[in-house]
Amino acid sequence: MSNQEATASAIDHLRTILPQDGTRDALIHSVIPNLLQSIADVAQALRNSHQVSAAGTANTFGDDQLNVDVIAENIIRATIAQCPSIVTASSEEDPIEQAVEHHATSSSSEQYTLAFDPLDGSSIISANWTVGAIFSLWDGPSALNQDPATRQIVSILGVFGPRTTAIVALRVSGSPVPKTCLELALGPAVSNPTSATVTTPTKWHLTAPTLTLAPRSKYFSPANLRMAADDPAYMTLLTSFITRRYTLRYAGGLVPDIVHMLVQGQGVYVSPVLAGGDGSRGQASKPKLRRLYELCPLALVVECAGGAAVDPVDGTAVLAREVKDCGERGGLLCGGREEVVEVVKTLLS
């Protein structure tokens, strides 16, 4: 990749891979740029949040909120108020689809709904580990009872670590590029500033125009390890990974674990659930991941990178099922296609 390509404006690149017939103008010029700006604003807020503490509140799912959860939620809500085409939004902190009150008007006919997790990884953020934000953009005024494979068109993962990056996956009908997954990085708008103390405006730079997952790998990320005590099939799978000398890459955060797999171009992530999914055989077996706010957007990212994302209970593609309710949960198995098929066979054995 040339230096010119590496420093190209992210938005200029997005214009080349989205429809140019005017049907997605708001998506190109308003929605995606604003969502990326919200990631930059959350990153700045996290850098200035020297104390991570309980906010004294809980979200609708009963999870205790941290002060940084509330800060990230407020930043993103304020940002989408600037996007008239985002007509409906819901989040993991407020999981009810509601009309967005906008600060501006638009004559665009485009209508989108946004489902987002403002800060994924609250359990590890106090240790200053990498965490993320997850955005899922759907055609129309609702994400519920829609076909995820066609109506979910954009997924963005914001990554807050030593660097601020974003993974953007697009699958938009009529685009010059049917589907793509790329990486952006937030950096100075002026390259080679004269002084390290000079504050310069920032912009998103294209760092990887295409992210692709190999069919097989030597990396594994095993979530919900306690379930191996209840599920012999999961224990067999973990033993197989170790016996075959796979490399463990598990950060404890969903976004950094998936992003590691993408930037390495290989890997398999497993967050299993016991058949039945009611947790009757222990707390560790309860489904944890929210379908609307985590599973569907991550599945789109993985599929756009050429991989597969399935329900570990029965091997069904995550995007093959409509989301009926904002509170639905499930497990996740994703990665290279051949690897996923092999893991499914082991888990269902």
CA distance 335 to 215: 8
* Angstrom distance (rounded) from CA 101 to CA 109: 17
Question: Tokens for 278?
Answer: 């009611």
For the chain, the average pLDDT equals: 89
Residue-level pLDDT at 51: 76
Q: With beta carbons less than 8 A apart as the criterion, state whether 328 and 273 touch.
A: no
The rounded distance, in Å, linking the Cα atoms of 342 and 199 is: 50
Question: Residue 52's pLDDT is what?
Answer: 75
Report the CATH architecture of 219-347.
3-Layer(aba) Sandwich (3.40)
- Describe the crossing of helices 232-243 and 337-347 by its angle, rounded to 10 degrees: 140
Contact 345, 312 (CB under 8 A): no
Given a cut of 80, whether residue 248 has pLDDT beyond it is yes
Query: Residue-wise over 314-334: b if at least 16 C-beta within 10 A, else e?
Result: ebeebbebbbeebebbbbbbb
* Spatial CA neighbour of 172 closest among 155, 196, 186: 155
Instruction: Kindly state the tokens that stand for 157.
Output: 């993962």
Mean pLDDT (whole number) for 3-10: 48
Q: Looking at residues 330-334, what average pLDDT do you find? A: 96
Stretch(es) of the chain classified as CATH 3.40.190.80: 219-347
Closest CA to 74 of 131, 133, 5, 25: 133
Q: What does the pLDDT read at residue 62?
A: 57
The model's pTM = 0.90
For CATH 3.30.540.10, the residue range(s) in the chain are 3-208
Assess contact for 201 and 189: CB atoms under 8 A.
yes
Q: Provide CATH code, domain 3-208.
A: 3.30.540.10
> What confidence category does residue 3 fall into, taking pLDDT thresholds of 50, 70 and 90?
very low
Report residue 207: phi and psi, to 5°. -105, -25
* Structure tokens, 250: 């598990």
Compute the distance between CA of residue 93 and CA of residue 74 in angstroms, rounded to an integer.
10
Beta strands in the chain (DSSP E): 54-58, 64-66, 86-91, 98-99, 112-120, 131-139, 152-160, 164-170, 180-188, 202-208, 219-222, 247-248, 268-271, 289-290, 308-310, 329-330, 332-335
- Assign 278 a pLDDT band (cuts: 50, 70, 90): very low
